[in-house]
Structure 1
């Protein structure tokens, strides 16, 4: 197939140069070189080989001129501020109260808590690290099956990839030229379907094996008090989704309003003393610099790949040779292989040009391609043998090994794969057209 691709693209050796750049980026990432340096090195070498290195700044300048780029620092500050103020984790606490007395209620609360955390943080791995410390110990204390306890958080954290304001959706929109607001709205229904599949899996699990989730002791807090405490996260989520869907707010404006409200709530309730606020801002600044560097490197790398024509050639071959579901299965295998050596953002960048070209070959758009790829990335992160999300959860709680969590995740995968297949076969589920 590589020879076929090399024959399809134009220019002297451009096809082979594009494939070499991809191989170099993957190899450097596998050798644990920072993602930004791996992408920048491969892209710059390719542009130098083609004699167009003098135009390397053009794609970076175009990226930096996009108004949606402000979402990167705003979402990071929002997520860190909501976390330090305690707003991001309240959904779990409220759900645990409301679902007390129901078998599997703590696992369902963990999943709901992950969804609530995702609504403000935009990070699935950050959600896994945080929610595992909050949700898993109570389940273990209540003698829940460790597989259920760890897997419910590991799977629930994947909702952060599709739930607005997901950082992966922002990165996809910026690099593909797709409106980020459209990506946010497109990810909502797949996220809700994934959430429903996780809930169904927990209910099936505890019905089949009641001892996996013994009923815990009732909590002293009333459901009414729990609901009164949880209101900031749903309000912020409603502002983002409602403002963008109605057309009244741009994504930047919606997130900025949410950030202002979070700061106001935190200060009024004395949850953000100066030292805590400084920690949130300092962490956000560090994360912003890292992501902006990756975005600039990715823009340069993708610019070179576009010149080679390799993504379009691969997409034409795949669209002509394979049905849609089989093509996505092939991309899923590639994603699973990348998960062994690359972090989520690197996987997204490497798959982006092929997925968008393939969507175009099928008459679809980059919004649908983005939702499919983001879903693939998150599934790849929970797959054995590595299972990065399971490792994050295990490292956070230190009492359940990754292998145990991965064995529990296996029970959730069927429903998640069904959601993925539905998105692939029925593009309208991602808001297309």
Structure 2
């Protein structure tokens, strides 16, 4: 059994390794191996092979490459670009004009990709050339792309929610359903900020330009059907109990390939590029997952979760006070750690505390993913900031940072709302 001091030292060492830039999986392995060696010698190294096989031999994890591949096929098949143009035609009359397109397009793409980084890169690639022709404020364009992309890890199917569910043994279907309402509320908050700000300062939005004829706009509505069909089939089959998340992801891949084939964009080159990107993303994710499971195994043997829970019980802290402390902790960690690293590093320590205070694993999963959303747009290491700046291709990243500030406040406001009304998640 380890004391609370040892748990704090181990957690601090993990944060230091992550802060100096060590790969997430290497940092997790290093701390786990060191803890195992100090307290048990080489006895805890022997079950590693069995534990690694047990972790990866999980049908649920097959959903990760399938969802990633589905998103890659849709992006490279031109489905996303068609969707963006159709949304632009309909959202142009709103206050803020095409800025709303970035939010809605990110929401829709999030529902078929499960990745924030992929959403930022995809929407940004389509958005910036369009907005530059119409003299929109680049600060607001960059801000809406980077912030809207955070919906990629909240709205299902979310890779982060799958990883969280695998680590905490929580139902993926329940997590997916719980993410829908907060995701839609957040998208509405983002659009509300755009509408209010553009009304107060019309200069942030360029001229609305000439609207496309009704006939043309109605015809382009068909370009919104593919992502809608995929989302309904995937989520409907999971929620209806007809398929597991993995089986639903497989069906989604088949539909995506059929749609792209219908657009005459399905070819061997596109499939090869999609597969290579999928393999790269999946290999990195599963390596991190194996490292996380090994560290959790060592922490469990050392009794760290029980020690932390008992320590918190002695403090007699109110649940909302602890929630506020965690928000502050994650805000600080998000300034220095990658979102996925922050999530995986803190689950073994923080989840026992929240469980002790009576929070459900589904509620905490959504809360944690929302804090990861903040980390994605929090300088200096927010991944979305640099993805958008890279796609933008000019100026300074400071423009993107300033652009996300109003939307960062929206995420914090929603976190507060979910703390006060947890039924928004559980319902």
TM range (shorter): over 0.9
Q: Which segments of 5 or more consecutive residues in structure 2 lack a partner in the other structure?
A: none
**Aligned pair 1:27/2:22, yes or no?**
no
Q: Is the contact made by 2:338 and 2:382 (CA closer than 8 Å) also made in structure 1? A: no
Asked whether the equivalents of residues 89 and 117 of structure 1 are also in contact (C-alpha less than 8 Å), the reply is: no
**Contact 1:89–1:116 (Cα < 8 Å) also in 2:** no
CA contact (8 A) 1:63 1:296 kept: yes
Deviation at 1:220, TM superposition (A): 4.6
Instruction: Give how far 1:18 is off.
Output: 3.1
Alignment of 1:289 with 2:283, yes or no, is yes
Is 1:341 aligned to residue 349 of structure 2? no
- Picking from 163, 170, 189, the partner of 1:178 is 170
**Distance of 2:195 and 2:305 partners within structure 1:** 42
TM-score (norm. length: structure 2): 0.92
2:252 corresponds to 1:258: yes
Matches within 5 A, 1:170-319: 170-218=162-210, 220=212, 222-318=216-312
Contact 1:352 1:370 in 2 (8 A): no
Pick which of 173-182 and 382-391 moved more: 382-391
Superposed displacement of residue 41, structure 1: 1.5
Distance 1:430 1:407 in 2: 30
**Shift of residue 138 of structure 1?**
2.1
- Say whether residues 1:396 and 2:385 are aligned partners: no
Distance (Å, rounded) in 1 between the aligned partners of 2:426 and 2:368: 15
Whole-angstrom distance in 1 between the partners of 2:336 and 2:50:
30
Deviation at 1:48, TM superposition (A): 2.2
Displacement of 1:385 after TM fit? 4.5
Cα distance, 1:35 vs structure 2: 1.1
Residue deviations 1:320-342 (CA, integer Å, cap 9, x gap): 44333332232223223323332
Aligned equivalents of 1:335 and 1:220: distance in 2?
45
Q: Which residue of 2 aligns with 1:383?
A: 378
Distance in 2 of aligned mates of 1:78 and 1:352: 28
What is the count of residue pairs matched by the alignment?
A: 421
After TM superposition, give the deviation of residue 175 of structure 1 in Å.
1.0
Please state how far the C-alpha of 1:72 moved relative to its aligned partner: 1.3
Correspondences of 1:23-62 after superposition (within 5 Å): 23-51=12-40, 52-62=44-54
TM-score, with normalisation over the residues of structure 1? 0.91
Deviation at 1:148, TM superposition (A): 1.4
What do residues 18-76 of structure 1 show as CA deviations (whole Å, max 9, x unaligned)? 33332232222222221111111111221222223323345434322332111111111
**Does the 8 Å contact 1:93/1:113 carry over to 2?**
no
Shift, 1:270, TM fit: 1.4
Matched, 1:95 2:87: yes
**Cα distance between partner residues in 2 of 1:128 and 1:326:** 34
Give the structure 2 partner of residue 4 of structure 1: none
Q: Deviations over 1:107-136 (max 9, x none)?
A: 100111111221111111221122112113
Q: Where does structure 1 lack aligned partners over 5 or more consecutive residues?
A: 1-10
- Aligned partners of 1:100 and 1:216 also within 8 Å: yes
Alpha-carbon distance in 1 for matches of 2:270, 2:240: 35
The Cα of 1:346 is off from its aligned counterpart by 0.9
- Higher mean displacement: 351-360 or 169-178: 351-360
The CA RMSD measured in Å over matched residues stands at 2.0
Deviations 1:356-400 (A, max 9, x none): 212311222211111101101111222245443222211211234
